[in-house]
Structure 1
Amino acid sequence: MSKPDFVIRNLHVQVEGKEILKGVDLHIRGGEIHAIMGPNGTGKSTLASAIMGHPHYEVTEGEILLDGQNVLEMSVDERARAGLFLAMQYPAEVPGVSNANFIRTALNARRGEGNEIPVLQFHRRLVQKMKELSIDPSFAERYLNEGFSGGEKKRNEILQMAMLEPRIAILDEIDSGLDIDALKIVANGVNQLRSDNIGFLIITHYQRLLNYIVPDVVHVMMQGRIVKSGDAKLAEELEAKGYDWLKQELGIEDETVEVEA
């Protein structure tokens, strides 16, 4: 299997006539972890939603390519089958659908008709992954995310990612609301999956997550654009100094561009 190659060029996105993303460029290869940081309301979550095809977000210019294929011509389910995965900031509760059934259905859709995973093989794999992520085995038969704590929901997102084996994984503030123990478990799950067969885009406000998942590249987003990129030391600098020095350096007075989706 070739290494994944994910390219975003000059991406512009608007919501209800207001432009949110104003020319985003990004290139993620297999084996790489890219982190996007920035103040609230600068377009980070809009980027994640636009990549996955949320209907509320209209792409007005630019392109998104996964392994040379035009993502913008795909429906949401086609993007997922092609290998895009989004771990959501606020995972939804789905009463009546067990966690195991949801994951198996998603995995079989990803594998394609005629290549469905045998039930016993799926069960063994699910049990092993749940053990690695410190998820109680009983959660397999509970309804998807129903009654789960915030930390359990986030671990469940990582469990889905581990089972689906995407080519590009987008983690949208996967660290929000986690205590330090849950954060370490989630980070460990990501680190276990790190290989040339997957690339990561991690959206976060805080450098603390990047203490446990060390990125290859850190990008800073302001006013709907990536305004600065660097290595992991850039995140440390932002943690120590905040964003005001960068706003001053770039002449940015008001970085807020996002609207409520």
Structure 2
Amino acid sequence: MLKVENLWVKVEDKEILKGINLNIGENELHVVMGPNGSGKSTLALTIAGHPKYKVIQGSILFEGEEITSLPPEERVKKGIFLSFQHPVEVDGVKIIHFLQRILKNLKGMDEIKAYEAIYTAIKELGLDESILTRFLNVGFSGGERKKLEMLQAYLVEPKLLILDEPDSGVDVDSLKTIAKIIRRLYERGTSVLLITHYGRILEYLNPTKVHVIKNGKIVASGSIDLVKIIEERGYSAVGDNEE
């Protein structure tokens, strides 16, 4: 489904990614881990098409189509969804209206059908429906922001879900809810690229493959056993020992 080939990316004249190769098949769950500043978020944002991240070499293919130069809105229409590490606040925009607009633009739903789909999803996921009358992320805790991101993904049902540290800044209960939504989407056929610092969210998931990025390169790929090595001995025990 996703093929990243020899990807080199820079931000403001600084090279961040240095020859990344990554293949994600249909209905696979891949995990990317690595130290701070290693390039994990850069990889996620580049795949999603953030204009700040400039591809200087290599390519990104989605379902066999070259998307390296496509704007982010076109990538969304093709089925790529990015859950942000730090979702922004938008005062004055109610969440119910925001979600209705998403479903209209991506699924062609009218307001009534979108309203019904949103409330059905809220009930299925066990979320608090009072969240829908609040303004987008305004005054939200870390867990509330991440759960709202996951609600959006659940409604959209993307082909590829990219999660940039969905477990950061959340409590244990929120983490379980987030993992449950990821698992449901995965079981429905969504492929997942999950970026994380820690292995705690993987207690609730069963990844296809785990990758370790250090200094802008994937230095190791393997099973869930890689996570155990990192937790016991740190990132220095994996790959080429670069920091």
TM-score (norm 1): 0.89
Residue 193 of structure 1 and its aligned partner are, at CA, apart by 1.1
Number of residue equivalences: 243
Specify which of 200, 203, 207 is matched with residue 208 of structure 1: 200
SS at match of 2:238: helix
SS at match of 1:11: strand
CA contact (8 A) 1:8 1:26 kept: yes
* Residues in 2 aligned to 1:118 and 1:73: alpha-carbon distance in whole angstroms: 31
Structure 1 window deviating more from structure 2 (139-148 vs 12-21): it is 139-148
Q: 2:93 corresponds to which residue?
A: 97
* Residues in 1 aligned to 2:203 and 2:39: alpha-carbon distance in whole angstroms: 23
Q: How does 1:77-226 map to 2 (within 5 A)?
A: 77-111=73-107, 116-195=108-187, 197-226=189-218
SS at match of 2:189: coil
TM-score (norm 2): 0.95
Q: 1:13 corresponds to which residue?
A: 9
Structure 1 window deviating more from structure 2 (133-142 vs 172-181): it is 133-142
Specify which of 30, 39, 60 is matched with residue 64 of structure 1: 60
Residue 198 of structure 1 and its aligned partner are, at CA, apart by 1.4
Residue 134 of structure 1 and its aligned partner are, at CA, apart by 3.2
User: Cα deviation per residue 1:75-101 (whole Å; 9 max; x = unaligned)?
Assistant: 111111111111011111111111121
CA contact (8 A) 2:31 2:209 kept: yes
* Residues in 2 aligned to 1:251 and 1:32: alpha-carbon distance in whole angstroms: 28
Residue 135 of structure 1 and its aligned partner are, at CA, apart by 2.3
Residue 18 of structure 1 and its aligned partner are, at CA, apart by 1.2
Specify which of 205, 211, 235 is matched with residue 243 of structure 1: 235
SS at match of 1:73: coil
CA contact (8 A) 1:132 1:189 kept: no
SS at match of 1:12: strand
Residue 196 of structure 1 and its aligned partner are, at CA, apart by 6.2
User: Cα deviation per residue 1:205-250 (whole Å; 9 max; x = unaligned)?
Assistant: 0011111122110000011011100011211221111112226xx2
Structure 1 window deviating more from structure 2 (94-103 vs 122-131): it is 122-131
The share of aligned pairs that are identical, in percent, is 43
Letter of the structure 2 residue corresponding to residue 88 of structure 1: F
* Residues in 2 aligned to 1:155 and 1:132: alpha-carbon distance in whole angstroms: 13
CA contact (8 A) 2:47 2:60 kept: yes
Structure 1 window deviating more from structure 2 (134-143 vs 197-206): it is 134-143
Gaps of 5+ in 1: 256-261
> Are residue 75 (structure 1) and residue 71 (structure 2) matched?
yes
**Quick one: higher RCO (CA 8 Å, sep 6+), 1 or 2?**
1
Gaps of 5+ in 2: none
* Residues in 2 aligned to 1:119 and 1:55: alpha-carbon distance in whole angstroms: 31
Letter of the structure 2 residue corresponding to residue 155 of structure 1: K
* Residues in 2 aligned to 1:109 and 1:233: alpha-carbon distance in whole angstroms: 41
* Residues in 2 aligned to 1:134 and 1:197: alpha-carbon distance in whole angstroms: 21
* Residues in 2 aligned to 1:96 and 1:144: alpha-carbon distance in whole angstroms: 8
